């Protein structure tokens, strides 16, 4: 049988004859990664699967309500590291919300679309040339609900 290249690790492997479309080698880490990718795609594309996963996680958390408390007691180093990292995240978030004097006061985000762009000199006089530009929003503030 011909060898194939694993889609996860890139190593060559001999596929199992019972699995004609096998794309991943028999390494446990590769199998886990294949499953993780499948679950991620399934959650994105299947609302029923996503809802079931959410309900299952919520049910488990209710049945094991003391899990995290017990885990932190059993792993004090982890708890302390996590506490420090959370403080760093909190500080960054606080600093990010401080307004700067020269920050933009634009309250409505610029919408994606086509615009006419004209260059203006220091005296607010248009300099020859008008360009049509297309603006695509790559990231921006989250819409308020």
Pairing label, strands 113-120, 126-135 = antiparallel
Instruction: Give the pLDDT score at 125.
Output: 67
Tell me: the pLDDT tens digits for 88-136? 999 988 887 666 666 665 566 678 888 888 887 777 666 677 888 888 8
pLDDT at 81: 96
Query: d(Cα 19, Cα 9) in Å, to the nearest integer?
Result: 19
Share of the chain above pLDDT 70, in %: 83
Residue 53 CA to its chain's centroid (Å) = 18
Residue 138 binned pLDDT confidence (cut-offs 50, 70, 90) = confident
68/125: higher pLDDT: 68
What radius of gyration do the chain's Cα atoms show?
27
> What percent of the chain shows pLDDT beyond 90?
61
pTM passes above 0.85: no
Name the phi and psi angles at 139, rounded to 5.
-160, 160
At residue 145, does pLDDT exceed 60? no
pLDDT of residue 59: 98
pLDDT tens per residue across span 20-38: 999 999 999 999 999 999 9
- Mean per-residue pLDDT of the chain: 87
Q: Is pLDDT at 84 greater than 70 in this prediction?
A: yes
- Strand 12-13, strand 113-120: pairing: unpaired
């Amino acid at each position: 049988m011909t060898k194939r290249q694993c889609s996860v690790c890139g190593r060559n492997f001999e596929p199992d004859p019972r699995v004609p479309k096998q794309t991943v080698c028999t390494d446990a880490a590769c199998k886990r990664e294949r499953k993780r990718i499948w679950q991620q795609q399934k959650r994105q594309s299947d609302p029923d699967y996503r809802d079931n996963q959410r309900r299952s996680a919520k049910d488990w958390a209710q049945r094991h309500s003391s899990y995290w408390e017990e885990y932190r007691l059993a792993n004090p180093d982890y708890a302390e590291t996590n506490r420090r990292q959370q403080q760093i995240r909190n500080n960054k978030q606080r600093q990010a919300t401080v307004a700067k004097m020269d920050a933009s006061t634009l309250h409505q985000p610029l919408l994606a679309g086509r615009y006419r762009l004209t260059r203006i000199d220091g005296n607010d006089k248009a300099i020859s040339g008008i360009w049509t530009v297309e603006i695509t929003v790559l990231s921006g503030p989250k819409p308020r609900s």
